[in-house]
Structure 1
Amino acid sequence: MSSIKQKILNNGNVIPTVGLGVYETDPKKCTDLVYEALKVGYRHVDSASIYKNEQEVCDGISKWLKEDSSHKREDVFYTTKLWDADHGYEPAKKAIKLMLEKAKDIGYIDLILIHTPKTSYKKRHGAWKALEEAYEAGTVKNIGISNYGIKHVKEVLAYPDLKVVPAINQVEIHPWLGRKDLVEFCRQNKITPEAYSPLVRGQKMTDPLLLSLAKKYNKSAGQILIRWSLEEGFITLPKTETMSRLAENFDVFDFELSPEDIKTLSDLDEYYISGWDPTIYPLDDEK
């Protein structure tokens, strides 16, 4: 039975394989949601500066940590992301400082990602330099990228002053959007692929194949999708604002899909985008 709940990144650090995504989560609900998620068993929360709920996520983590002396900071993995408006070396340094101020009660940030590649070479490069400095200072334990296509990843790897290879590339991945070429390229370069929107924002929950598998395994459709993501080796970030679904989405370590069922799901791939697709953003020539 596959019950791996952590993966090792390219720098030797570990990351929990199932995280709670908090995109569009109301800040007023976010602290309690994160706290309840940690009580359920989650040890990974994924936010972003553009979500406007970083402080509330950190407050939820802090509340859980203070509740019991057995709760350790190193057991929780907190991710946030640098938005496009903060690309560039100096803007990124200021944004990272603000992120760290919001996280002061929990001490440090486990992972900061560049949220999208939708700016310019100069700005992306400057942002990466700022992230490398935060990583070297130890206030940010891991750094990575998000929504980067192969051409964007190649750009990072070709930086003449590159010191740190991204640990993560977080992109939308699910059975209807397998991104096989991108996933393979990242893995060849020791960059771990992380899957957001593994539940396809609820847009495929009535798919007949998915429903038949849910019945076969006596699991929910969401659990089947999260399990597929884990079986395919991804770190996966299901999102819910419903307290009752927190436990359901995390209860995915007591079964595994057969190889045939994994392939059948993977064969649904049709490059289906449930939200947006910055991976196709064109590169500019400015250096």
Structure 2
Amino acid sequence: MWVPFLFAPESALGDQRALHRSTSARCTLVVDDDAGLPNGETIPQIHLGLYQMSPSTTHRAVTSALTTGYRAFDSAQWYHNESATGTAITSFLSSHSHPAVVSRPTIFYTSKLRSNSTSYPSVRESITRSVDACGLGYIDLFLLHSPYGGKEARLTSWRAVEDAILAGEVKSGGVSNYGVKHIEELMSWEELRVKPVVNQIEVHPFNTQEEIRGVCAKYGIVVQAYAPLAAGMRFGDATVVGMSGKYGCTPAQLLVRWSIQHGFVTLPKSSRPDRIAANADVGGFEISEEDMEILDGLDEKLVTDWDPTDAP
């Protein structure tokens, strides 16, 4: 069972990831870089996003990513690919004989609750179904996918996440698409037992989310950036194109690097093996402080898919 709130020394997981780093010939991929979570756990700084991938595409993408060196995967009940993700991971693990380099403890798997509910039993059962669906024994990070449903549904659903953590089904809990008022609501809840460690939101230079990032920093909540590539909608932006040339990288790599230098856990999505590898190949350059400020200044509140952060 995992204990919430407490900071812990480097665990066996950390030792295994350290061995993976020492035995890896890769020098510019960031697949081995970890960020700390406020409960003492660690989280890989780059994940493969699996949004809108069919089960068959998911299986191929996850397998390709694992072969490249990725160890973190972001699924959800809503994506209908939890089983495919887990099957791909299990198959890959069974085909590799060095458990200290690649084994279940070195994998970081995330899923999310489809809908908040005022029915505690339905949410609790839904979380258990997600654990069973992935077939990985437990879920490393389970998120409330959005703040939709109202205050009672949000808090009831969080209570179910807390109990799943205390039961050992889930290692860490977090939220997604939470705005400032939703974070404040949860953190001020008198019955709160386990603090959220992550808020997964859309973040990129064209939607910097400074206000939400500020409240996350206030409570020590890690920002997880989905759509870090802005869905490719600004790859042709003059500033992005110019800086990509300056740093000898692609626009996608520039945006991933921006995300990492801000300290976010980033979730670039692709099903193509070449792009999966390229998105993680950002360890060979660093964006200057001046250029980071220029990229920050591109903010236009661009929303590439949905924005529930102002939900009532």
The reply to whether TM is greater than 0.5 is yes
Map of 2:225 onto structure 1:
195
Q: How does 1:81-120 map to 2 (within 5 A)?
A: 81-84=112-115, 88-104=119-135, 106-120=136-150
In structure 2, do the counterparts of structure 1 residues 56 and 82 end up closer, same or farther at CA, with 3 Å as the change threshold? same
Return 5+ residue gaps in structure 1 as ranges. Answer: 283-287
Aligned to 2:10: none
Q: Counterparts of 1:112-151 in structure 2 under 5 Å?
A: 112-151=142-181
CA distance in 1, matches of 2:123, 2:58: 25
For 1:87 and 1:51, how far apart are their aligned partners in 2? 22
The one of 95, 103, 109 aligned to 1:67: 95
Q: TM-score, normalised by structure 1?
A: 0.95
Give the AA of the match of 2:129: L
Report the Cα distance in structure 2 between the residues aligned to 1:255 and 1:64, rounded to whole angstroms.
31
Choose the corresponding residue for 2:202, options 172, 184, 195: 172
> 2:288 aligned with 1:258, yes or no?
yes
Structure 2: gaps of 5 or more residues: 1-26
Residue 45 (structure 1) aligned with residue 73 (structure 2): yes
| Aligned mates of 2:199, 2:161 — CA distance in 1 | 15
In the TM superposition, 1:157-236 aligns within 5 A as 157-236=187-266
Q: Secondary structure at the match of 1:188?
A: helix
1:5–1:88 CA distance, 2 compared to 1 (3 A): farther
- Give the structure-2-normalised TM-score: 0.87
Match runs of 1:263-274 below 5 Å: 263-274=293-304
Q: 2:50 aligned to 22, 28, 36, which one?
A: 22
**Alignment correspondent of 2:13:** none
Distance 1:158 1:85 in 2: 19
Task: Give RMSD over aligned pairs.
Answer: 1.5
Query: Partner letter of residue 68 of structure 1?
Result: H
Question: Kindly, what percent of the aligned residue pairs are identical?
Answer: 37
Report deviation, 1:87: 5.9
Which of residues 110, 117, 121 in structure 2 aligns to 1:79? 110
SS in structure 2 of the partner of residue 194 of structure 1: strand
Retained in 1: the 8 A contact 2:116–2:147? no
Distance 1:117 1:186 in 2: 15
Distance 2:280 2:95 in 1: 21
Letter in 2 for 1:29: T
Provide Cα deviations, 1:19-55, integer angstroms capped at 9, x if missing partner.
0000001211111210110110111100110000010
Aligned to 2:8: none
User: How many residues align structurally?
Assistant: 281
Distance 1:56 1:225, change over 3 A: same
How far, CA to CA, are the matches of 2:276 and 2:295 in structure 1?
Answer: 24
CA contact (8 A) 1:88 1:125 kept: no
Shift of 1:86: 5.2
Give the match for residue 37 of structure 2: 9
Is the Cα–Cα contact under 8 Å of residues 116 and 153 in structure 2 kept in the other structure?
no
Distance 2:230 2:209 in 1: 14
Partners of 1:28 and 1:190 in 2: CA distance: 37
Q: Tell me the residue number matched to 1:285.
A: none
